[in-house]
Chain A
Amino acid sequence: MTPAEHTTPEQLRHDAEEAATGFPALMAAADQLAATISLGAHGRRRSGPGDEFWQYRIAGAGDSLRDIDWRRSARADADFVRQMEWQNLQAVHLWIDRSAAMGYRGQDSLPTKGERARILGLATAILLAKGGESVGLMEDPNPPKHGRGQITKMAMRLAATGGKTEYGVPPGKDMGRGNRALLISDFLGDWDHVLAALSRAADQRVQGCLVQVLDPSEESFPFDGRTIFQSMGESISFETRRARALRDDYLARLAERKDQLDSLARRTGWMYLCHHTDQPAQAALMWIYNAIAGPSR
């Protein structure tokens, strides 16, 4: 949905309003979720640029005169430089699958996979932003930024209607070496695409985590009878005469897919979580936050 598509101001305004309807709710939900986790500052345990005092060091050659802490130096013969703790800011790239497949839910009482993914993603972003990290969406060509403004922008982008594609694939983006990535999807699309995208990310020495969001019905396959299964965009369909008979095969394939994701993550030093929409989002958020913002391994 590019601005060029909006031919008239009315339609532009309509689309904008439509896009914005979900935004406050998403922001509120994400804020609420993020508020359940209290942050601590995560210093790097070494001197560097930062706000917190780290140590006084005897000034040596190369230290700028203005770095000298005169108050400390006055108490001794040597000159001291006041060093602050290095507070390294990381950039975290998020990809939250908004494809058609994420719009699925097995029961009306549960959120769709996409909703859960967005809330998890945005809540993580909020937490990270609070921690001073810069965050950004992978669709966003701009580099990650920090601050509340970036969160708002992300939320707006996320609240907009998802793409029309059946299954999402992480976009290729130069994420910058050493940065972190968070990919949230159901990873039910073509495995090759998933593999390629993850490989590309791993090639950039980006570490991160894969969060697979699944609906409970996808996990249990509670269907029976003569059924035509269709993808959300109805482009793929599969007919069975007795759905129940397929259950075991299906479950085996699902387990295989999970296993592939897990092993892929292990190989590349990533972390993998399978989250179901009937589980509380908070636990998943905790896990994600620890996985991303925790000390690098």
Chain B
Amino acid sequence: MIGIGSLGFLAPWLLLGLLALPVLWWLLRAVPPAPLRRQFPAVTLLLGLEDRETTPDRTPWWLLLLRMGAVAAAILAFAQPVLNPSDRIAGRAPLLIVLDGSWASAQSWTARQDKLDEILQFATQDGRSVAVINASDRPRGENPLSFDSADSWRGRIKGEQPRAWEPDYSVWMEAIAAADPFETLWLSDGLEREGRAELFDVLSGKGTVTVVQSDREVLALRGINIEGSALGTTALRLGTGDGNREPRTVSLLAEGPDPAGITRSLAQGEGAFGAGQSETTASVDLPSELRNRVRRVALEGVRSAGAVVLTDDSIQRRKVALIGGGTEQEGAVLVSPLHFLRKALVPTADVIEAGLADSLQATPDVLILADVAELGAAETQEVLDWVEEGGLLVRFAGPRLAASGIGQSEEHPLLPVRLRAGGRTVGGAMSWGAPKALEEFAEGSPFFGLEIPDDVLVESQVMAQPDPNLAERVLASLQDGTPLVTAKDQGEGRVILFHVTANAEWSSLPLSGLFVQLLERLAISARTTDLNSTALEGTVWVPEQVLDGFGVLRDAPALAGVEGAQLATREFSAEMPPGVYKSADQRVALNVLAPDRQLEPARWPAGTPFLSMTRTEERPLQALLLMAALILLCIDILATLIVGGRLRLRGATAAAMLLAVWPQADALAQNAAQDDAALLMAANNTVLAYVETGDTRLDDISRAGLLGLSTELFRRTSVEPVEPVGVNLETDELALYPFLYWPVTDTVRMPSEAAFEKVNAFLRGGGLILFDTRDSNIGRGISGGTPNGKMLQNLARNLDIPALEPVPEDHVLTRAFYLLQDFPGRYGDANVWVEAAPPDAEQVEGMPFRNLNDGVTPVVIGGNDWASAWAVTETGRFAYPVGRGVAGERQREIAIRFGVNLIMHVLTGNYKSDQVHVPALLDRLGQ
């Protein structure tokens, strides 16, 4: 392929044909246009005349140029020019395509897919065998590098998705090293990571390695913590292309469920990278109620798992109310029952210290009563109610509790177990025995797996009565088996009792780290420690929600639970994707980026060939040029005819040619003009309109009917309508017509959604539609199951039609112009339906009419075939017979009166229902 700039030729040797152009020029020049033979009787008069001008002996230069252009275009076309030919890797050797299908690729995944497709397309053209591996996966099967035809890979690769983790190159080394030589194309995500250089060495040992790397900036978020009232995170970036780092701002979105449970963006924050800066902090400020709902913080506009951090219990700050027994003594801080609790909870929870009543007002999650013995009856009830609604009540024992005798004779609702009077003291100066250490936590206890420091010793405690249900309520016990922590479920909530004090008076527990861990496990305080294998030892974590490569949080598929130790390794794989894992009451978020992760641009050995990531849109120009050649030749034909005098371009011919070329444009212009005229006509006059059904006969009847009605209106009233028009619901504007006659027939298609919308707008805008099923001779009006009736029901389903009722005797339609009680058309006896009167319409005493609906009924529905009764022929005679004899004439007259009333009702609305007219109407009614 030879290229000139962005233009390339696939068959460049054909361009040699251009050399033949001058020869062609000379040849064409030498051949004049053939003479035209023309019969002409007056040739006798011409005989003997001399030619004074002999110019067009040779082809005119512009015609020559035209022909040259056509030939040149054809030659160029056959040389298969291509605009923007893409750079491609040539060769016939097997090709291994290595994808870093990591989260960092997700941001430019579409471009990568396109590029990959393009590469495979070229490989197909070159007939290469190809193997594609996603380095983020683990090698599968015996032969992970399966070389196959590029075409088959094209189909397979379509559904490939980026992973939410990063490749581990070491696992691929062996498989790659074992394969036969091949060339490699590495679609890199641009991040430096361990093993990349080694893998590169292995690959380059097999053949050339070409690297494709995106120029797009890679953005990521690392970790999340609480800073004051804000959620803070660290944003990282890998500069564009050549490591260039422009200043830019990123915006953070905090997402979580709203009160309705629908995930939405709860708050937005900002972070700014300075020039050259690759790391910055960003935070989202939001109140703690909202903060606890945040599930996911993401960089706005970045589709990548790396740009998402998930939240877990570590940001769930629970509201803890601390109530201490007795009064705190100034100076005796360390012996205060609340001191250690405060120290343990303040960093990770919102601590409320107020009176019990005030604390409960603040709806805390946890209520801690440290050595509080008896509450008042009302307070007990309040606390009990709160617990039963889901509160967690944690109580610590102490001298006061022990002394109060509470819960000794019977189980107190706010204590998990019955207590024995007194309690015990071990290892003190006045007692035998040594202080007791804690027993290993039993499996099933929330504390299972926690390591117990040796120096935690209990000297005093309150004792539980050995009730039958004691065993199941014990969460932790001492080595001699006496319960240390007991719990019971109370309603929705839970009551937990530590049988020791919250200060160091009875045990050294509050002094140890175990105290904090216990609180943590009870989900009182948030976990502050990072994931480490010791803390997670012995736990099994079940993925609750996992991230895909694009950073979308999905419910975990049926993934098996993960050992805590494995969780701590943070070695992600398909079995353990990043996400939120759950164990017992604890949720832990495994984010994509490790807490110490830095983003470094990938370093490639010097001399590595690169391909651009942007898929160059190849545009083959052959068809275009061939078209150009064809058009030029067509012009040449015309020009030759003109030059040869065979074609005289006159106005008519030119116009005809133009018409042939742009018939649509002309037709459109014409339509537009007609439309405008029709719209003006409708806007300047009163025009009755009917809906065109497409059934010519029916439309003729409608038209004739409305023409007859218009004539009668003109004759009898001051309404002077012009010729009625048919409207096409799909295309015509309805707003200009006050009244539509809609004959319903089952033979027509249902109008489109857009048409229904238009009709609804028409109805809402005060228009009136007269639906006529024209079949009341066979069925009893619209309620009957006639085909037209069913069609009407189908139509009405899509329309804004209010509740209907048969025209009541005092409807304004009965007196809008004539006083009527029947509304016959060609058929006489079916009910006519209008909008139902409001239920509260009542007849005022002494008035003949109720003050009915304020507006105009939007629809009048019937089946009396009014149009046929109104229809007149061109000559003004009635087109269709109505009834027989005098009775028939009377029926037609009433039908026309109905039409007049209807149009009056349309045009004057409820004017005639105004009570002002009552005296006149009464007079006319002869009352």
**Chain B binds chain A:** yes
Identify the A interface with B (CB < 8 A). 100-102, 104, 113, 167, 186, 188-190, 215, 217-218, 222-232, 234, 236-246, 249-250, 253-254, 257
Q: Compute how far the CA of A54 lies from the CA of B148 in the bound complex, rounded to whole angstroms.
A: 123
Taking a contact as CB atoms under 8 Å apart, the answer to whether A250 and B42 are in contact is yes
Residue of B41, B54, B643, B648 near A231 (CB, 8 A) is: B41
Sampled A-B contacts (24; CB under 8 Å) = A100-B41, A104-B41, A167-B44, A186-B42, A188-B41, A222-B648, A224-B645, A224-B648, A225-B33, A225-B35, A226-B32, A226-B33, A227-B38, A229-B38, A229-B46, A230-B37, A232-B39, A232-B41, A236-B47, A238-B43, A240-B51, A245-B52, A246-B51, A254-B45
Alpha-carbon gap, A242 to B52, bound state (A): 8
Contact indicator B43/A227 (Cβ below 8 Å): no
* A242 lies within 8 A of B53 (CB): yes
A101 to B44, CA, bound (A): 11
A224 to B36, CA, bound (A): 10
Q: In whole Å, how far is A222's beta carbon from the nearest beta carbon of chain B?
A: 7
Bound complex: CA of A101 vs CA of B34, how far in Å?
Answer: 25
Residues A250 and B46 in contact in the complex (CB < 8 Å), given A226-B33, A241-B54: yes
Is there contact, CB below 8 Å, between B38 and A249? no
Judging by beta carbons under 8 Å apart, are B42 and A188 in contact? yes
Q: Which of A113, A227, A234 contacts B645 (CB 8 A)?
A: A227
Interface membership of chain B positions 485-525, coded 1 if the CB is closer than 8 angstroms to chain A and 0 otherwise: 00000000000000000000000000000000000000000
Whether A218 contacts B41 in the complex (CB less than 8 A), given A225-B644, A249-B49, comes out as: yes
> In the docked arrangement, what's the CA distance between A188 and B42, Å?
6
B35 touching A226 by the CB < 8 A rule? yes
Decide yes or no whether B55 CB sits under 8 A from chain A. Answer: yes
Q: Is the CB of A242 within 8 A of B55?
A: yes
Min Cβ gap A164→B in Å is: 14
Q: Are A188 and B47 in touch, CB under 8 angstroms? A: no
Q: Is the CB of A227 within 8 A of B42?
A: no
Contacts of B194 in A (CB 8 A): none
- CB-CB under 8 A from A246, the residues of chain B are 46, 49, 51
Question: CA separation between A249 and B49, bound complex, in Å?
Answer: 7
CB of B646 closer than 8 Å to a CB of A: yes
**Could you tell me if B47 and A238 are in contact, using CB atoms closer than 8 angstroms?**
yes
Measured CB to CB, the nearest residue on chain B to A221 is B42
* A186:B36 contact, CB within 8 angstroms: no
CB-defined contacts of A239 to chain B, threshold 8 Å: 35
Is B57 an interface residue when CB atoms closer than 8 A count as contact? yes
Which A residues are in CB contact (< 8 Å) with B42?
A: 186, 188, 218, 250, 254
Asked if A241 and B57 make an inter-chain contact with CB atoms under 8 angstroms apart, the answer reads yes
CA–CA, A218 and B40, complex, Å: 8
Q: Given the complex, which residues of B lie within 8 Å of A241, measured CB to CB?
A: 51, 53-57
The interface residues of chain B lying within 8 Å CB-to-CB of A167 are 41, 44
Question: Could you give, for residues 161-173 of chain B, a 1 whenever the CB lies within 8 Å of some chain A CB and a 0 otherwise?
Answer: 0000000000000
Residues of A within 8 Å of B645, CB to CB, are: 223-227, 243-244
A167-B44, A228-B37 given; 9 more Cβ-contact pairs under 8 Å: A100-B41, A167-B41, A225-B56, A226-B57, A228-B36, A230-B38, A231-B43, A238-B47, A254-B45
User: Do the beta carbons of B44 and A189 come within 8 Å of each other?
Assistant: yes
- Shortest CB-to-CB span from B60 to chain A, Å, is 11
Contacts A225-B643, A226-B35, A230-B37; is A237 near B43 (CB within 8 Å)?
yes
Contact of B54 among A190, A238, A242, A257 (CB under 8 A): A242
A247 to chain B, nearest CB (A): 10
Chain A residues lying within 8 Å of B56, measured Cβ to Cβ, are 225-226, 241-242
User: Whole-angstrom distance from the CB of A43 to the nearest CB of chain B?
Assistant: 43
**Bound CA span A73–B57, Å:** 92
Of A167, A226, A239, the most chain B CB neighbours within 10 A belong to: A226
A229 touches B40 (CB 8 A): yes
Residues in A with CB closer than 8 Å to B36 are 225-228
Chain A contacts for B34, CB-based, 8 A = 226
> What size tier do the contact residues of chain B reach?
20 to 34
B43, A229: Cβ atoms closer than 8 Å: yes
Least Cβ–Cβ distance between A129 and chain B, in angstroms: 31
Contact between A250 and B51, CB atoms less than 8 A apart: no
- How far apart sit A207 and B612, CA to CA, in the bound complex (Å)? 101
User: What residues of chain B lie closer than 8 Å to A189, measured between beta carbons?
Assistant: 44
Given A225-B56, A241-B54, A242-B55: A236 in contact with B39 (beta carbons within 8 A): no
How far in angstroms is the closest Cβ of chain A from B537?
104
> Which residue of chain A is the closest to B647 with respect to CB atoms?
A225
Contact mask for chain B residues 806-833; partner A; CB cutoff 8 A; 1 contact, 0 none: 0000000000000000000000000000
A224 CA / B51 CA spacing, docked (Å): 12
Interface residues of B in 54-86 (CB under 8 A from A): 54-57
**Chain B residues whose CB sits within 8 angstroms of the CB of A230 once the complex forms:** 37-40, 43
Residues of A within 8 A of B41 (CB): 100-102, 104, 113, 167, 186, 188, 215, 218, 231-232
Q: Within B1-50, which residues are at the interface with A (CB < 8 Å)? A: 32-47, 49
Asked if B45 and A257 sit within 8 Å, CB to CB, the answer is yes
Checking B33, B39, B49, B648 against A104 with a beta-carbon cut-off of 8 angstroms, the contacting residue is: B39
Min CB gap B454→A, angstroms: 119
Which residue of chain A has its CB nearest to the CB of B32?
Answer: A226
| Least CB distance, B638 to chain A, in whole angstroms | 14
Tell me whether A245 and B51 are in contact in the complex, defined as CB-CB below 8 angstroms, given that A227-B645, A230-B37, A231-B39 are known contacts: yes
In the assembled complex, the CB of B105 is this many whole angstroms from the nearest CB of chain A, namely 70
Q: When A225-B644, A226-B645 are in contact, do A253 and B45 touch as well, CB less than 8 Å? A: yes
Contacts of A229 in B (CB 8 A): 38-40, 43, 46
How near does chain A come to B491, taking the closest CB pair, in angstroms? Answer: 105
From B38, B44, B53, contact of A188 by CB (8 A): B44
Give Cα A19 to B38, complex, Å. 28
How far apart are A98's CB and chain B's nearest CB, in angstroms? Answer: 13
Q: Which residues of A contact B55 (CB under 8 A)?
A: 241-242
Contacts of B43 in A (CB 8 A): 229-231, 236-238
**Whole-angstrom distance between the Cβ of B62 and the nearest chain A Cβ:** 16
Q: Which 4 A-B pairs have the closest CB atoms?
A: A225-B645, A101-B41, A224-B645, A245-B53
A263 CB, min distance to chain B CBs, angstroms: 17
- Which residues of the other chain, B, contact A223 by a CB distance below 8 angstroms? 38, 40, 645
A215 proximity list for chain B (CB < 8 A): 41
Pairwise interchain contact A250-B45, C-beta atoms closer than 8 A: yes
What chain A residues lie within 8 Å of B32 (beta carbons)? 226
Tell me which residues across on chain A come within 8 A of B33, comparing CB atoms: 225-226
Min CB gap A221→B, angstroms: 8
Question: Bound complex: CA of A218 vs CA of B54, how far in Å?
Answer: 23
A146 to chain B, nearest CB (A): 34
**CB atoms of A227 and B44 under 8 A apart:** no
B-chain residues with CB within 8 Å of residue A231 when the two chains form the complex: 39-41, 43-44
- The answer on a CB contact under 8 Å between A240 and B46 is yes
Residues of A close to B40: CB separation below 8 A: 104, 217-218, 223, 229-231
Write out the residue numbers on chain A whose beta carbons fall within 8 Å of the beta carbon of B648: 222, 224
Looking across the interface, which residue of chain A has its beta carbon closest to that of B34? A226
Residues of A within 8 A of B45 (CB): 188, 250, 253-254, 257
Interchain CA distance A249-B47 in the complex, whole Å: 11
Q: Shortest distance in angstroms between A110's beta carbon and chain B's nearest beta carbon?
A: 14
Interface centre among A225, A239, A243 (most CB of B within 10 A): A225
Partner of A236, one of B44, B49, B646: B44
Contacts of A228 in B (CB 8 A): 35-38
B40 → chain A closest CB, angstroms: 4
Q: Which residues of A contact B52 (CB under 8 A)?
A: 245
- Please, how many angstroms separate the alpha-carbon atoms of A254 and B46 in the complex? 9
Q: A249–B51 Cα gap in the complex (Å)?
A: 10
Q: A231–B793 Cα gap in the complex (Å)?
A: 78
A226 x B38 contact (CB < 8 A): no
Provide the bound-state CA to CA distance between A44 and B3, in Å: 101
Among candidates B46, B644, B646, residue contacting A238 with C-beta atoms closer than 8 Å = B46
Q: Which of chain A's residues has its CB closest to B47's CB? A: A238
Distance A239 CA – B643 CA, assembled complex (angstroms): 16
Most chain A CB atoms below 10 A, which of B40, B55, B57, B648: B40
Complex Cα spacing A244 to B55, Å: 11
Contact A226 B644, beta carbon cutoff 8 Å: yes
